[in-house]
Amino acid sequence: MKRIRKLQDLMEELNFSSFILTTTPNIFYFTNFMGSGYLVIPLNGNPQLYVYPIDYEAAQTYCIQEVEINKLKITSNVAEIVIGMPGSLKKKVGFDRLEVEQYFKVREHVEVIESPSDLVWKLRTVKDVEELEKISKAAEISSKCMDLASQIISEGVRESEVKAEIVEEMIRSGADKPAFDIIVASSSRSTFPHGGVGDRQFVDGDIVVVDLGASYEGYCADMTRTYHIGSNPSEEELKIYNLVLETKNLVEENTKSWILAASLDEAARRIISAKGYGEFFVHGLGHGIGIEVHEPPKINQVSQEIIQENNVITIEPGIYIPKKFGIRIEDTLVVGRDGVSKLTSSPYDFALY
Protein backbone atom coordinates (compact mmCIF):
# COMPACT_ATOMS: atom_id res chain seq x y z
CA MET A 1 0.00 0.00 0.00
CA LYS A 2 2.96 2.35 0.48
CA ARG A 3 3.73 1.93 -3.21
CA ILE A 4 0.11 2.60 -4.13
CA ARG A 5 0.02 5.73 -1.97
CA LYS A 6 3.20 7.01 -3.61
CA LEU A 7 1.65 6.52 -7.04
CA GLN A 8 -1.47 8.37 -5.90
CA ASP A 9 0.73 11.27 -4.78
CA LEU A 10 2.27 11.41 -8.27
CA MET A 11 -1.20 11.18 -9.79
CA GLU A 12 -2.34 14.15 -7.73
CA GLU A 13 0.62 16.22 -8.94
CA LEU A 14 -0.38 15.49 -12.56
CA ASN A 15 -4.15 15.78 -12.00
CA PHE A 16 -5.00 12.17 -12.82
CA SER A 17 -8.36 10.98 -11.56
CA SER A 18 -7.37 7.33 -12.05
CA PHE A 19 -4.53 5.22 -13.37
CA ILE A 20 -4.93 1.82 -15.03
CA LEU A 21 -2.10 -0.70 -15.07
CA THR A 22 -2.21 -3.36 -17.78
CA THR A 23 1.24 -4.99 -17.65
CA THR A 24 1.97 -8.01 -15.48
CA PRO A 25 5.18 -6.64 -13.85
CA ASN A 26 3.46 -3.38 -12.83
CA ILE A 27 0.44 -5.22 -11.45
CA PHE A 28 2.78 -7.47 -9.47
CA TYR A 29 4.70 -4.46 -8.11
CA PHE A 30 1.55 -2.97 -6.60
CA THR A 31 -0.42 -6.10 -5.63
CA ASN A 32 1.96 -9.08 -5.24
CA PHE A 33 -0.16 -10.93 -7.84
CA MET A 34 1.89 -12.18 -10.80
CA GLY A 35 -0.66 -12.64 -13.54
CA SER A 36 -2.61 -10.92 -16.27
CA GLY A 37 -5.40 -8.47 -15.57
CA TYR A 38 -6.11 -4.77 -15.09
CA LEU A 39 -5.45 -2.74 -11.95
CA VAL A 40 -7.48 0.44 -11.53
CA ILE A 41 -5.97 2.85 -9.01
CA PRO A 42 -8.23 5.82 -8.17
CA LEU A 43 -6.80 9.12 -6.98
CA ASN A 44 -8.49 8.47 -3.64
CA GLY A 45 -9.39 5.13 -2.16
CA ASN A 46 -8.28 1.55 -2.67
CA PRO A 47 -7.54 -0.13 -6.02
CA GLN A 48 -9.68 -2.56 -7.96
CA LEU A 49 -8.04 -5.56 -9.64
CA TYR A 50 -9.87 -7.15 -12.55
CA VAL A 51 -8.80 -10.68 -13.51
CA TYR A 52 -10.09 -13.43 -15.76
CA PRO A 53 -11.65 -16.58 -14.23
CA ILE A 54 -8.49 -18.62 -14.83
CA ASP A 55 -6.53 -16.32 -12.48
CA TYR A 56 -9.24 -15.43 -9.95
CA GLU A 57 -8.27 -17.93 -7.25
CA ALA A 58 -4.56 -17.11 -7.61
CA ALA A 59 -5.33 -13.39 -7.27
CA GLN A 60 -7.30 -14.04 -4.09
CA THR A 61 -4.38 -16.05 -2.71
CA TYR A 62 -1.49 -13.68 -3.46
CA CYS A 63 -2.96 -10.20 -3.76
CA ILE A 64 -2.58 -7.77 -0.86
CA GLN A 65 -5.82 -7.55 1.14
CA GLU A 66 -6.44 -3.83 0.51
CA VAL A 67 -7.09 -4.49 -3.20
CA GLU A 68 -10.61 -5.54 -4.18
CA ILE A 69 -10.60 -8.39 -6.71
CA ASN A 70 -13.20 -8.55 -9.47
CA LYS A 71 -13.84 -11.47 -11.82
CA LEU A 72 -14.05 -10.60 -15.51
CA LYS A 73 -15.90 -12.48 -18.21
CA ILE A 74 -13.64 -14.41 -20.56
CA THR A 75 -14.54 -11.98 -23.36
CA SER A 76 -14.01 -8.80 -21.32
CA ASN A 77 -11.41 -6.14 -22.12
CA VAL A 78 -10.09 -2.95 -20.57
CA ALA A 79 -12.56 -0.78 -22.51
CA GLU A 80 -15.45 -2.44 -20.71
CA ILE A 81 -13.81 -1.71 -17.36
CA VAL A 82 -13.41 1.96 -18.27
CA ILE A 83 -17.02 2.21 -19.41
CA GLY A 84 -18.19 0.85 -16.06
CA MET A 85 -16.07 3.23 -13.96
CA PRO A 86 -17.74 6.15 -12.10
CA GLY A 87 -17.62 9.45 -13.96
CA SER A 88 -15.34 10.96 -11.34
CA LEU A 89 -12.60 8.52 -12.36
CA LYS A 90 -12.87 9.32 -16.08
CA LYS A 91 -11.79 12.96 -16.03
CA LYS A 92 -8.12 12.21 -16.69
CA VAL A 93 -7.12 8.55 -16.99
CA GLY A 94 -3.54 7.32 -17.18
CA PHE A 95 -2.31 4.00 -18.56
CA ASP A 96 1.07 2.33 -18.26
CA ARG A 97 0.44 0.74 -21.67
CA LEU A 98 -2.58 0.60 -23.93
CA GLU A 99 -2.92 -1.26 -27.22
CA VAL A 100 -4.01 0.83 -30.19
CA GLU A 101 -7.26 -1.09 -30.70
CA GLN A 102 -8.25 -0.58 -27.07
CA TYR A 103 -7.21 3.07 -27.18
CA PHE A 104 -9.78 3.85 -29.85
CA LYS A 105 -12.47 2.15 -27.76
CA VAL A 106 -11.47 3.82 -24.50
CA ARG A 107 -11.01 7.40 -25.72
CA GLU A 108 -14.74 7.77 -26.42
CA HIS A 109 -15.54 7.31 -22.73
CA VAL A 110 -13.01 9.52 -20.93
CA GLU A 111 -12.37 13.25 -20.96
CA VAL A 112 -8.56 12.99 -21.14
CA ILE A 113 -6.35 9.94 -21.70
CA GLU A 114 -2.58 9.87 -21.30
CA SER A 115 0.18 7.26 -21.08
CA PRO A 116 3.12 8.75 -19.13
CA SER A 117 5.57 5.89 -19.51
CA ASP A 118 7.94 7.12 -16.80
CA LEU A 119 5.39 7.61 -14.02
CA VAL A 120 5.49 4.09 -12.61
CA TRP A 121 9.21 3.79 -13.31
CA LYS A 122 9.81 6.72 -10.93
CA LEU A 123 8.80 4.28 -8.21
CA ARG A 124 10.03 0.96 -9.58
CA THR A 125 13.61 1.99 -10.32
CA VAL A 126 14.32 2.87 -6.66
CA LYS A 127 14.17 -0.40 -4.76
CA ASP A 128 12.85 -0.69 -1.21
CA VAL A 129 14.27 -2.95 1.51
CA GLU A 130 12.03 -5.90 0.64
CA GLU A 131 12.98 -5.71 -3.03
CA LEU A 132 16.69 -5.50 -2.25
CA GLU A 133 16.43 -8.59 -0.06
CA LYS A 134 14.82 -10.58 -2.87
CA ILE A 135 17.29 -9.40 -5.50
CA SER A 136 20.15 -10.22 -3.14
CA LYS A 137 18.80 -13.76 -2.77
CA ALA A 138 18.45 -14.07 -6.54
CA ALA A 139 22.07 -12.90 -6.85
CA GLU A 140 23.23 -15.42 -4.25
CA ILE A 141 21.58 -18.25 -6.17
CA SER A 142 22.98 -16.97 -9.46
CA SER A 143 26.49 -16.85 -8.04
CA LYS A 144 26.19 -20.41 -6.81
CA CYS A 145 25.11 -21.50 -10.28
CA MET A 146 28.02 -19.69 -11.92
CA ASP A 147 30.44 -21.42 -9.56
CA LEU A 148 28.92 -24.73 -10.65
CA ALA A 149 29.26 -23.81 -14.33
CA SER A 150 32.96 -23.06 -13.88
CA GLN A 151 33.45 -26.48 -12.31
CA ILE A 152 31.76 -28.52 -15.06
CA ILE A 153 32.93 -26.67 -18.18
CA SER A 154 35.66 -28.87 -19.69
CA GLU A 155 36.61 -30.74 -22.82
CA GLY A 156 33.88 -33.06 -24.09
CA VAL A 157 31.04 -31.42 -22.13
CA ARG A 158 28.21 -29.88 -24.20
CA GLU A 159 26.81 -26.37 -23.90
CA SER A 160 23.33 -27.82 -23.38
CA GLU A 161 24.59 -30.01 -20.51
CA VAL A 162 25.97 -26.95 -18.70
CA LYS A 163 22.64 -25.15 -19.09
CA ALA A 164 20.74 -28.18 -17.75
CA GLU A 165 22.97 -28.34 -14.67
CA ILE A 166 22.56 -24.59 -14.07
CA VAL A 167 18.76 -24.76 -14.25
CA GLU A 168 18.63 -27.76 -11.91
CA GLU A 169 20.86 -25.99 -9.39
CA MET A 170 18.73 -22.83 -9.56
CA ILE A 171 15.52 -24.65 -8.75
CA ARG A 172 17.17 -26.75 -6.06
CA SER A 173 18.51 -23.54 -4.47
CA GLY A 174 15.07 -21.95 -4.23
CA ALA A 175 14.71 -19.92 -7.44
CA ASP A 176 11.32 -19.58 -9.10
CA LYS A 177 12.90 -20.07 -12.52
CA PRO A 178 15.74 -18.69 -14.65
CA ALA A 179 15.29 -14.93 -15.02
CA PHE A 180 15.96 -15.23 -18.77
CA ASP A 181 17.15 -17.72 -21.36
CA ILE A 182 20.60 -18.78 -20.14
CA ILE A 183 23.56 -18.28 -22.48
CA VAL A 184 26.38 -20.81 -22.77
CA ALA A 185 28.13 -19.81 -25.99
CA SER A 186 31.50 -21.24 -26.99
CA SER A 187 34.15 -20.72 -29.64
CA SER A 188 33.08 -18.38 -32.50
CA ARG A 189 29.52 -18.16 -31.13
CA SER A 190 30.91 -16.32 -28.11
CA THR A 191 31.08 -13.32 -30.47
CA PHE A 192 27.26 -13.15 -30.39
CA PRO A 193 26.24 -11.11 -27.32
CA HIS A 194 23.03 -13.16 -27.21
CA GLY A 195 24.59 -16.43 -28.30
CA GLY A 196 22.09 -18.74 -26.64
CA VAL A 197 22.89 -22.41 -26.07
CA GLY A 198 23.71 -25.08 -28.63
CA ASP A 199 24.75 -28.72 -28.41
CA ARG A 200 28.40 -28.15 -29.22
CA GLN A 201 31.05 -30.06 -27.30
CA PHE A 202 33.82 -28.00 -25.75
CA VAL A 203 37.39 -28.52 -26.90
CA ASP A 204 40.71 -27.38 -25.49
CA GLY A 205 41.31 -23.71 -26.26
CA ASP A 206 37.62 -22.74 -26.36
CA ILE A 207 36.37 -19.48 -24.93
CA VAL A 208 32.97 -19.88 -23.27
CA VAL A 209 30.63 -17.02 -22.31
CA VAL A 210 28.14 -17.91 -19.56
CA ASP A 211 25.33 -15.40 -18.91
CA LEU A 212 22.79 -16.47 -16.29
CA GLY A 213 20.40 -15.12 -13.69
CA ALA A 214 17.88 -16.50 -11.23
CA SER A 215 14.43 -15.19 -10.41
CA TYR A 216 13.55 -15.32 -6.72
CA GLU A 217 10.02 -14.43 -5.54
CA GLY A 218 9.55 -12.38 -8.70
CA TYR A 219 12.91 -10.53 -8.66
CA CYS A 220 15.90 -11.08 -10.93
CA ALA A 221 19.68 -11.09 -10.93
CA ASP A 222 22.03 -11.11 -13.92
CA MET A 223 25.71 -12.02 -14.24
CA THR A 224 28.23 -13.07 -16.88
CA ARG A 225 31.61 -14.75 -16.75
CA THR A 226 33.93 -15.74 -19.60
CA TYR A 227 36.14 -18.81 -19.38
CA HIS A 228 39.02 -20.27 -21.38
CA ILE A 229 39.29 -24.06 -21.46
CA GLY A 230 42.89 -25.03 -20.88
CA SER A 231 45.87 -23.36 -19.28
CA ASN A 232 47.27 -21.48 -22.26
CA PRO A 233 45.09 -18.59 -23.47
CA SER A 234 46.63 -16.67 -26.35
CA GLU A 235 48.26 -13.30 -25.77
CA GLU A 236 45.34 -11.59 -27.54
CA GLU A 237 42.75 -13.43 -25.46
CA LEU A 238 44.49 -12.51 -22.21
CA LYS A 239 44.91 -8.89 -23.31
CA ILE A 240 41.23 -8.48 -24.13
CA TYR A 241 40.04 -10.33 -21.03
CA ASN A 242 42.15 -8.12 -18.77
CA LEU A 243 40.94 -5.00 -20.61
CA VAL A 244 37.28 -5.94 -20.13
CA LEU A 245 37.83 -6.71 -16.44
CA GLU A 246 39.82 -3.51 -15.91
CA THR A 247 37.12 -1.46 -17.64
CA LYS A 248 34.42 -3.01 -15.49
CA ASN A 249 36.34 -2.40 -12.28
CA LEU A 250 37.15 1.24 -13.13
CA VAL A 251 33.57 2.06 -14.04
CA GLU A 252 32.23 0.41 -10.88
CA GLU A 253 34.67 2.41 -8.76
CA ASN A 254 33.21 5.62 -10.20
CA THR A 255 29.54 4.66 -10.04
CA LYS A 256 27.46 6.43 -7.40
CA SER A 257 24.12 8.18 -7.05
CA TRP A 258 23.37 11.33 -9.04
CA ILE A 259 25.75 10.51 -11.88
CA LEU A 260 24.56 10.48 -15.51
CA ALA A 261 24.07 6.95 -16.80
CA ALA A 262 25.47 7.98 -20.19
CA SER A 263 28.69 9.17 -18.56
CA LEU A 264 29.37 5.64 -17.28
CA ASP A 265 28.95 4.21 -20.77
CA GLU A 266 31.16 6.97 -22.14
CA ALA A 267 33.90 6.19 -19.62
CA ALA A 268 33.88 2.48 -20.48
CA ARG A 269 33.88 3.19 -24.20
CA ARG A 270 36.78 5.62 -23.80
CA ILE A 271 38.92 3.02 -22.01
CA ILE A 272 38.19 0.31 -24.56
CA SER A 273 38.65 2.64 -27.53
CA ALA A 274 42.02 3.83 -26.23
CA LYS A 275 43.27 0.26 -26.62
CA GLY A 276 41.92 0.00 -30.18
CA TYR A 277 38.83 -2.12 -29.53
CA GLY A 278 36.08 0.52 -29.54
CA GLU A 279 34.34 -0.82 -32.66
CA PHE A 280 34.04 -4.24 -31.00
CA PHE A 281 32.07 -2.97 -27.96
CA VAL A 282 28.68 -3.29 -29.63
CA HIS A 283 26.11 -2.85 -26.85
CA GLY A 284 25.32 -0.58 -23.93
CA LEU A 285 27.31 -0.82 -20.73
CA GLY A 286 24.44 -1.99 -18.56
CA HIS A 287 20.85 -1.70 -17.41
CA GLY A 288 18.57 -1.61 -14.43
CA ILE A 289 17.19 -4.86 -13.05
CA GLY A 290 14.36 -5.84 -10.72
CA ILE A 291 11.06 -7.55 -11.51
CA GLU A 292 12.24 -7.54 -15.11
CA VAL A 293 15.75 -8.34 -16.32
CA HIS A 294 15.96 -5.14 -18.33
CA GLU A 295 14.56 -2.06 -16.61
CA PRO A 296 15.45 1.62 -16.43
CA PRO A 297 17.92 3.13 -15.96
CA LYS A 298 19.42 2.30 -19.33
CA ILE A 299 23.19 2.70 -19.22
CA ASN A 300 24.12 3.49 -22.80
CA GLN A 301 25.37 6.32 -24.99
CA VAL A 302 21.99 8.03 -25.42
CA SER A 303 20.53 7.58 -21.94
CA GLN A 304 19.13 10.72 -20.33
CA GLU A 305 18.69 9.05 -16.94
CA ILE A 306 20.46 9.75 -13.68
CA ILE A 307 21.67 6.90 -11.47
CA GLN A 308 19.90 7.05 -8.11
CA GLU A 309 20.51 5.58 -4.69
CA ASN A 310 18.97 2.09 -4.41
CA ASN A 311 18.92 1.56 -8.15
CA VAL A 312 19.95 -2.01 -8.92
CA ILE A 313 22.00 -2.13 -12.10
CA THR A 314 24.38 -4.26 -14.12
CA ILE A 315 27.76 -3.23 -15.50
CA GLU A 316 28.73 -5.49 -18.43
CA PRO A 317 31.43 -4.31 -20.84
CA GLY A 318 32.20 -6.71 -23.66
CA ILE A 319 34.52 -7.02 -26.65
CA TYR A 320 33.57 -9.27 -29.56
CA ILE A 321 36.09 -10.06 -32.31
CA PRO A 322 34.11 -11.35 -35.33
CA LYS A 323 34.73 -14.99 -36.31
CA LYS A 324 37.14 -15.41 -33.37
CA PHE A 325 35.87 -14.93 -29.81
CA GLY A 326 33.93 -12.63 -27.47
CA ILE A 327 34.52 -11.71 -23.84
CA ARG A 328 31.98 -10.18 -21.43
CA ILE A 329 31.98 -9.84 -17.64
CA GLU A 330 28.93 -8.69 -15.69
CA ASP A 331 27.68 -8.31 -12.14
CA THR A 332 24.51 -7.11 -10.44
CA LEU A 333 25.12 -4.06 -8.23
CA VAL A 334 23.10 -1.93 -5.83
CA VAL A 335 23.87 1.78 -5.93
CA GLY A 336 24.62 3.63 -2.71
CA ARG A 337 25.13 7.32 -2.10
CA ASP A 338 28.89 7.18 -2.64
CA GLY A 339 29.45 3.90 -4.47
CA VAL A 340 28.11 0.48 -5.34
CA SER A 341 27.87 -2.87 -3.58
CA LYS A 342 28.24 -6.04 -5.59
CA LEU A 343 25.41 -8.54 -5.16
CA THR A 344 26.75 -11.30 -7.42
CA SER A 345 30.00 -12.93 -6.36
CA SER A 346 31.77 -15.50 -8.49
CA PRO A 347 35.55 -15.49 -9.11
CA TYR A 348 36.95 -13.86 -12.26
CA ASP A 349 39.12 -16.85 -13.15
CA PHE A 350 39.65 -16.91 -16.90
CA ALA A 351 41.58 -20.13 -17.52
CA LEU A 352 39.89 -23.40 -16.50
CA TYR A 353 42.36 -26.26 -16.17
Cα–Cα distance for residue pair 261/33, rounded to 1 Å = 31
pLDDT tens-digit profile, the chain (353 residues)? 999 999 999 999 999 999 999 999 999 999 999 999 999 999 998 999 999 999 999 999 999 999 999 999 999 999 999 999 999 999 999 999 999 999 999 998 999 999 998 999 999 999 999 999 999 999 999 999 999 999 999 999 999 999 999 999 999 999 999 999 999 999 999 999 999 999 999 999 999 999 999 999 999 999 999 999 998 999 999 999 999 999 999 999 999 999 999 999 999 999 999 999 999 999 999 999 999 999 999 999 999 999 999 999 999 999 999 999 999 999 999 999 999 999 999 999 998 87
SS3 for 154-182, per residue?
CCCCEHHHHHHHHHHHHHHCCCCEECCCC
Distances (CA, A) of 58 to 34, 47, 54: 9, 17, 8
Are 279 and 291 in contact by the 8 Å Cβ rule? The answer is no
Distance of CA 320 to the CA centre of its chain: 23
Residues facing 158 on adjacent strands: 201
pLDDT of amino acid 91? 95
pLDDT of amino acid 276? 97
Strands 112-114 and 92-95: parallel
* Backbone dihedral angles phi then psi of residue 330, each to the nearest 5 degrees: -150, 145
* Number of neighbours of residue 261 by Cβ within 10 angstroms: 28
The domains located in the chain, with CATH, are: 2-124 (3.40.350.10), 129-352 (3.90.230.10)
| Cβ within 8 Å of residue 16, ≥6 positions away | 43, 92, 93, 94, 114
pLDDT of amino acid 231? 84
Q: Is residue 31 packed enough to be buried (19+ CB in 10 Å), middle (13-18) or exposed (0-12)? A: buried
pLDDT of amino acid 74? 92
| Cβ within 8 Å of residue 210, ≥6 positions away | 146, 149, 150, 153, 162, 182, 183, 184, 224, 225, 226, 227
pLDDT of amino acid 117? 80
Cα–Cα distance for residue pair 2/13, rounded to 1 Å = 17
Spatial CA neighbour of 245 closest among 137, 172, 318, 155 = 318
Are 151 and 225 in contact by the 8 Å Cβ rule? The answer is no
